[in-house]
Amino acid sequence: MTGKALTLKERSDWLRLARTESVGPVTFDHLIRRFGDAGKALAALPELARRGGRAHPPKAPSIADAEREIAAGERLGARLIAACEPDFPALLAALDPPPPLIWARGDAGLLARPCVAIVGARIASAAGQRFARTLAQDLGQAGHVIVSGLARGIDGAAHEGSMATGTVAVLGGGVDDVYPPEHAHLYETIVARGCVVSESPVGARAQARDFPRRNRLISGLSRAIVVVEAELKSGSLITARLAGEQGREVLAVPGSPLDPRAKGVNDLIRQGAALCEGAEDVLRALAALPSLREDGASYEACPLRGDDLDAAVDALRGRIEALLSPTPTPRDDLIRITGAPAPAVYAALTELALGGRAELLAGGLVVKS
């Protein structure tokens, strides 16, 4: 399923599968590749979970639940875009794996333009906020959309600086979850002039577990990320790490060693992040970057099907589970050690994940649950 708009039923099925218990982006990807569409994958879930060792099937939203979420988004004027559709952001579709679906409220066309993320401390200095605002304005005038997280401090300044040229706010909650409350006016302005994006259900309120996923979207939408201020234990550093893993350029604005908000950015520079003193540094780094694959999420069907695949998985499941540990293991290592076809290994891992005995992580890693 590549490059086509989903029908209403297919969109509902994608939403239901993406919102199903124990189905994260990696499991979703494996299920679509194996069964060809979300409806068939939903029908197969109870048996797959049973084979994976689960006593009861994972909870999946009903058709009515999916229709309610879609209707709620439409009332906001938001769009639900699937990773297989042609207007899904190309850089986001190139992630391994991409988020199955995103909600976009506002001008979704901004997501197709070159994007740079600017993130940093919530309790930011006045100088840091001024720098972020100016940097966002300069990069916007150079043709780049600015992506950030609508948080206090650096994020808010970055949105304000790029409002006239294009800004995208990525939320941890639903596209209607305004947080912090004092950014209500900023949020409404972005809806009117920019774009708000979320992977979470409409109406969902952000919780701590949602922010790593939100950070992955921020870096995934962007060709480069600039960290302006950040302490050593900071969500901005998580976003920078994710950007590096995704092959995106990471830049950091140096700060005084006497300011705790500079410790994180200075450490990024020590670890190899490019130094940023202004828009020229970002534009120079972007010009030097190799092209990223932007051909979208293919969801190609698994070449092993039916009884052949079931038999291969039955022979593999126990062996693969025995190889797993709390230490993340690359899926490629499991393929090499077992000598089994990749589709069979992926199918066995999917069943173990649905059974609650494995967790499939981004970047091709697996851990024992």
What the block records as the tokens of 357 is 């005995």
Band (pLDDT 50/70/90 cuts) for residue 302 is low
Residues 98, 367, 18: CA angle, nearest 5 degrees: 35
Provide, rounded to the nearest whole percent, the portion of the chain with pLDDT above 90. 81
Domain that holds residue 273: 105-288
**DSSP labels for 100-157?**
SEEEEEE-GGGGGS-EEEEE--SS--HHHHHHHHHHHHHHHHTT-EEEE---TTHHHH
Q: Which of 52, 56, 97, 96 shows the shortest CA–CA distance to 320?
A: 52
Mean pLDDT of the chain: 92
pLDDT average, residue stretch 213-237: 94
pLDDT average, residue stretch 249-262: 94
361 has pLDDT over 70: yes
73 lies in some domain: no
CB 190 within 8 A of CB 196: yes
The least confident of 113-117, 218-222, 314-318 is: 314-318
Interval 87-109: pLDDT, tens = 999 999 999 889 999 999 999 99
216 lies in some domain: yes
81 has pLDDT over 70: yes
Do residues 121 and 220 share a domain? yes
State the pLDDT at residue 24: 92
Interval 26-73: pLDDT, tens = 999 999 988 989 999 999 999 999 999 998 999 999 999 999 999 999
70 lies in some domain: no
| 71 contact partners, CB below 8 Å, separation of at least 6 | none
What the block records as the tokens of 180 is 């912090």
1 has pLDDT over 50: no
Do residues 172 and 261 share a domain? yes
Do residues 251 and 311 share a domain? no
Residue 312 belongs to domain with CATH number: 1.10.10.10
State the pLDDT at residue 343: 86
State the pLDDT at residue 307: 63
pLDDT average, residue stretch 135-151: 98
Do residues 247 and 352 share a domain? no
pLDDT average, residue stretch 206-216: 90
Q: Could you tell me which residue, 217 or 343, shows the higher pLDDT?
A: 217
